[in-house]
Amino acid sequence: MNYKEIKDIISDMSISKLDTLAIEFPDGTKVSMSKSSENKKVVATDTVEVISRVEEQIIKKEEIKEEGIFITSPIVGTFYESSAPDKAPYVKVGDKVKKGDIICIIEAMKLINEIASEEDGEIKEILVKNGDIVDFGKPLFKII
């Protein structure tokens, strides 16, 4: 639920037939509102604080998007940036990738495993070197 939706709920509360509304956010923030049937006023507990917390969450999500998403190794093995030593790398910094594009290979027990991008975006950083041993969950790429 975003800031606009909460603001709309608060303003709609005064004209609705609803007497009580309670919202609990994933971060534990709780909002409850009720109106008296006599004067039809909306009473929101800590509304300003809740709205500022929602704005903070939106800003944090935007910061995370700016920081990027990490593509991690799904297996233990040896990281290779290309299909052969004389071939060009699958991707380099600045390349745009789509979900499902092959971005590297990891050799594990003499088996070659193609690793595909899990997200659409731009390669911001390659976090390992060609020939590095990688563990399960090790970040390989940062994309934005």
Tell me: do 79 and 58 sit in the same domain: no
> Rounded mean pLDDT of 90-95?
93
Q: If DSSP codes are grouped into helix, strand and coil, which group holds residue 91?
A: coil
pLDDT of residue 118: 87
> Rounded mean pLDDT of 13-20?
64
Tell me: do 32 and 83 sit in the same domain: no
The helix or strand, by DSSP H or E, that contains position 123, with its residue range, turns out to be: strand 121-126
d(CA 59, CA 55): 6
Note whether 35 and 19 are within 8 A (CB).
yes
CA dihedral 70, 74, 77, 81 (to 10 degrees): -50
What's the domain count of the chain? 2
pTM of the predicted structure, to 2 decimals: 0.53
| pLDDT band (50, 70, 90) for residue 89 | very high
* Tens-digit pLDDT profile for residues 20-39: 777 777 777 777 777 665 55
Domain span holding position 39: 3-67
Query: Which is more confident, 35 or 114?
Result: 114
Tell me: do 32 and 76 sit in the same domain: no
